[in-house]
Structure formats: structure tokens, C-alpha cells
Amino acid sequence: MRSLNQLLWLQRLLVKLRWFYFVKFWGMDIHPSAVMSLSVRLDKTYPKGVHIGPDSYLAFDVAVLAHDMPRGLYCDTHIGARCFIGARCIILPGVSIGDGSIIGSGSVVTRDIPPASIAAGNPARVIRRNIETSRLGRLRSAGRDRGNEETVLPELELAAREAGGLP
């Protein structure tokens, strides 16, 4: 683990380069403070339609779509600020996810999700409202109800490792 941590600067460089590639080359609208796994798929058919807000987090294999091929539509898909998008979620074209919302792993988001909500399922439904998230979509209550303190990893290591696409 210790030896892996020595490579964190390399990972951070790769993540930065990828952000540059998405924003400057493809023209996507991604806030520099957003963090996403290397395996995330952002719509390259209509890259201008991809909008990701500050301090949001996209876990591994998330797909953000901005075009609907059978209907021939090209739409804007918005992910707000301080959102957490769980592993393998699919955000359908034209959907807006409000600030501070959490989408459970494996969800398919077909409609707009209001701010400060937890949604999950296929199709995704709101299962909780009025939550409060901080950076990377963490619940403000996070960690308080945790029993086993030993299992808490340093946040930097966690975020950096996840940003590298490790599951």
C-alpha cells in the first residue's frame, strides 16, 4: 500500500491530463473539481451536451449520454454540484440531476432528479429527500454511525485510488 501511495502523483497527473482532453479537445463542460473514475464513459457523439458540476464524483463504469440515436435527438445532460453517481449508473440524454443528489449503483436515470435526493433503481426513483452532501457527494452524516473505526481509510488515499478507476 505504502509503495502504491508513492505513485499518487502519477495518478493525479493522468487524471488532470484526461480532464484537459475532455474539456479542451472534446468541448465538454466539466468542472475541474469534479472527480471521476478512469472507466467513466462520457458521450463523444455530442460532447457539448455533457455538463458536470463542481465537487461531484462519478464512480467506475458510469455512462453519461447526451444523444438519443433512435429519436435523432442531441440534448444537454446535467449533473449538478456535490453529486455522487454510483458505479455503473447510466444517465440518459436530457436528464438533469440536481445539486447534492446521490444516485445508487447500477441505476438507470430516465427522468430529472431533484436536488438533495437519493435515487436508485432501473428506472431510478427517488427514495429519500432532504439529504445534505459535501465534497464528492459525501453525506454530512458520513462516518458518524460507523462502528468499526479501524476500517476507515485516509480520505486522500481513498479519493485518489478511486479516481484511478479501481473498484
Residues at the interface with a second copy (CB under 8 A): 41-46, 48-49, 57, 59-61, 63, 65, 69-74, 84, 87-88, 90, 92, 102, 104-108, 110, 120-123, 133, 136-139, 141-143, 146, 148, 151-153, 158, 161-162, 166-167
For 35, residues 6+ apart whose C-beta sits below 8 A from its C-beta are 15, 56, 57, 58, 136, 159, 162, 163
User: Cβ closer to a second copy: 19 or 46?
Assistant: 46
* Shortest distance in whole angstroms from residue 44 CB to a second copy: 5
- Kindly state the smallest distance separating residue 32's Cβ from a second copy, in Å: 20
Given a contact cutoff of 8 angstroms between Cβ atoms, the answer to whether 95 and 76 are in contact is no
Backbone φ, ψ for residue 52 (5° rounding): -130, 125
List strand residue ranges (DSSP E) for the chain, in order.
29-30, 35-36, 41-42, 50-52, 57-58, 63-64, 67-68, 73-74, 77-79, 84-85, 90-91, 96-97, 102-103, 108-109, 118-120, 125-128
Whose Cβ is closer to a second copy: residue 17's or residue 141's? 141
Q: Which is nearer to a second copy, 19 or 107 (CB)?
A: 107
For cell 454511525, the residue is: 145
Least separation in angstroms between CB 33 and a second copy: 16
Residue with Cβ nearer a second copy (27 or 32): 27
What's the closest the beta carbon of residue 17 comes to a second copy, in angstroms?
19
Residue closer to a second copy by CB (options 19, 133) is 133
CA angle 76, 110, 133 (to 5 degrees): 80
CB of 106 to a second copy, least distance (A): 4
